Structure 1
Amino acid sequence: MRTAAETEVRRPSAVRALTALLATTAAATVVVELLNWVYAPEQGFALAVRTGWALLRSLGFLLLIGHVRRGRTLARPFGLILAVTTVFAVARLIVPRQGVPPLPGLLGFAVLTALCVAVVWLLYRSSALAAHLVRHRPRLVIDARGISWRETPPRRPEANAWLLTARVAAFTYSPLMLVPALVATGEVRGDRLAALPAVLFWFGAGIAASYAVLLCTAFLLRGRRWAARGLVVVTLLVLAVDLPLCWWLLGLDGLVRDGAPLVTAAALTFYALRRAARANPAP
């Protein structure tokens, strides 16, 4: 008699390979961040905040493992955004304000970048993964059989993959604004106390951006074309607020370290919206 474990459907080899790769990437993220911290010439508040934010990405890779194992459609855009922003988050910590980066940090960054590239390549180039990542998240269902929590297709038409990518990319706006705002709190002291209202405004704008993105993307996935234009406007406003504040409160170094990841996320959002519009042209 066969046991339940023996009759369980074996996942494709590509899924097992990606799961192992994601676990390795999560561990590599932690190791590289610790190396950066040890070899950093300045271990101040700003580095601690940015390092903490980068370390949180290791949890993101673990969450992505769950999506991959369950075959969620969200895994592809989530993995793409996570890989791209991880590379930027680590890159901005390796380069010191002066001098050249330490060799251990450079080697760790090279390894982590290679792992992230491999993750994206598997997610988007593997036909086995494409056939596996087709399931939707379970939700509460009330029908004639009663109340249950099970996987069901969404009532709305299935969203274009590029729309999902734009949605995930746009959801990074808020944390990418809040991290430099938190860094700026360490700069507001002494003769710079007058900048405190600007920092508070920065925090408020970061929180407001999350709600604006949530509203736009909710209608975007329902096929409302005005939502795409709204998301473009939100993106431009986010850039108009964040980049000048980075330059004013954190200097050119902060503009590069904290502004570049946001610009990358915005560019990916624009690109995804454009690809989605081409895939679903207006009637």
Structure 2
Amino acid sequence: MTPRPVRVLTGLLIATAAATVVVELLAFRYAPDHGTGFAVRTAWALARTLGWLVLMAQVRRARATAKPLSLILAMTTLFAVGRLIVPASGRPPLPGLIGFGVLTVLCVTVVVLLYRHPAVDAHLSRRSRRPVLTREGLSLQDAPPGDPWVLTARLASFSYSPLMLVPALTAAGTLRHRQEWVLAVLLWVLAGIAVSYAALLCAFFLRRGSHRARTALTSITLAVLAFDLPLCGILLGLDGLIRDGAPLVVAAALALYAVRRTGRAPDRPPVGTPR
């Protein structure tokens, strides 16, 4: 039977997804301009709603990825929705601020429950059983738990691509009178797509404890920041740098910290191979 705190957590996740949609509708209602940038950022914020539903499925299936996923979702959701509420000029509307405050409380509560509540932690710590071929035949074996910091680094790196594509597509909508930046924006979009494959490759080897994968992920993170932040500042201004650059900085900082916490243990062979 599912523990009561887990059922409460599931209800909070549904409420968080609903609150995200409500705050986005408020932002749309009070936004003075519904241009390309607003449309791109709204679509990205809506994608966060689906993320909370994915997290709910992870919790119900007792997946270890639920913890780092909740942390990354909470941070990126607050940035994604918050930048819709705050207009480029003037004060944000009071209903939007109230909705954002409720969403903040829900996000913080979800993260605290996942990381601090003993019943939820016990639920997520259940090991899955998988078939393993031995000399005696096919048997069941407990799958070893994953390093939570490795999972955090992997999930944080997966967010680089959308966090780069959102400002790139926003900048693409402003090129009508700045055609000299078309090539730069095209490279920006291509870099955002390429980063997803690079992060996936690093995540594959990072799971196996590769020191080179940790070094590669660190280099990719620093390169992403060095490439993305200047373009945000030049093409989107200070407002765009704060709205679109800050979430990437937070995700990168989380990934770098997680990579550092994974330690400097020597490379280990994949699970199931003889030592």
- TM-score normalised by the chain length of structure 2: 0.90
The residue aligned with 2:225 is 239
Cα deviation for residue 142 of structure 1 reads 8.5
> Are 2:60 and 1:69 aligned?
yes
Cα deviation for residue 158 of structure 1 reads 3.9
Q: In structure 1, what residue type is equivalent to 2:212?
A: W
Change (3 A) 1:27 1:152: farther
Q: Partners of 2:174 and 2:126 in 1: how far apart?
A: 46
Q: Partners of 1:189 and 1:119 in 2: how far apart?
A: 43
Q: How does 1:145-160 map to 2 (within 5 A)?
A: 154=143, 158-160=145-147
Residues 26, 96 of structure 2: 8 Å contact kept: yes
Change (3 A) 1:183 1:25: same
Q: Partners of 2:54 and 2:142 in 1: how far apart?
A: 22
Cα deviation for residue 134 of structure 1 reads 3.0
- List gaps (5 residues or longer) in structure 2: 135-139, 268-275
Cα deviation for residue 275 of structure 1 reads 2.3
Deviations 1:8-60 (A, max 9, x none): xx200111010000000000000000101101111211111101110111111
Q: Partners of 1:138 and 1:243 in 2: how far apart?
A: 44
Deviations 1:85-135 (A, max 9, x none): 101111111111111111011111100000000000000001111111135
Query: Number of aligned pairs?
Result: 263
Percent identity, aligned pairs only, is 59
Q: Partners of 1:199 and 1:209 in 2: how far apart?
A: 15
Q: Partners of 2:148 and 2:116 in 1: how far apart?
A: 14
Q: In structure 2, what residue type is equivalent to 1:63?
A: V
Residues 165, 272 of structure 1: 8 Å contact kept: yes
Q: Partners of 1:101 and 1:40 in 2: how far apart?
A: 9
> Are 2:70 and 1:79 aligned?
yes
The residue aligned with 2:9 is 18
Q: Partners of 1:19 and 1:138 in 2: how far apart?
A: 24
State the SS of the aligned residue for 2:125: coil
Cα deviation for residue 212 of structure 1 reads 1.1
Q: In structure 1, what residue type is equivalent to 2:187?
A: F
Deviations 1:154-196 (A, max 9, x none): 5xx6431111111111110000001111111110113x11111
> Are 2:173 and 1:182 aligned?
no
Q: For structure 1, which segment, 93-102 or 172-181, has the greater mean C-alpha deviation from structure 2 after superposition?
A: 93-102
Change (3 A) 1:128 1:42: same
Q: In structure 1, what residue type is equivalent to 2:256?
A: F
Q: Partners of 2:127 and 2:169 in 1: how far apart?
A: 35
Q: Partners of 1:250 and 1:273 in 2: how far apart?
A: 31
Change (3 A) 1:206 1:153: farther
Change (3 A) 1:270 1:181: same
From 103, 110, 117, the equivalent of 2:108 is 117
Q: In structure 2, what residue type is equivalent to 1:227?
A: A
Q: In structure 2, what residue type is equivalent to 1:211?
A: Y
The residue aligned with 1:131 is 122
State the SS of the aligned residue for 2:23: helix
> Are 2:159 and 1:172 aligned?
yes
Q: Partners of 2:91 and 2:265 in 1: how far apart?
A: 49
Residues 73, 136 of structure 1: 8 Å contact kept: no
> Are 2:259 and 1:273 aligned?
yes
Cα deviation for residue 143 of structure 1 reads 5.7
> Are 2:85 and 1:101 aligned?
no
Deviations 1:220-241 (A, max 9, x none): 1101112111111000000011
The residue aligned with 1:3 is none
Residues 23, 100 of structure 2: 8 Å contact kept: yes
CA RMSD of aligned residues (A): 2.2
The residue aligned with 1:31 is 22
Q: How does 1:153-232 map to 2 (within 5 A)?
A: 154=143, 158-190=145-177, 192-232=178-218
Deviations 1:239-258 (A, max 9, x none): 01110111111111111110
Change (3 A) 1:17 1:212: same
Residues 71, 134 of structure 1: 8 Å contact kept: yes
Cα deviation for residue 138 of structure 1 reads 8.8
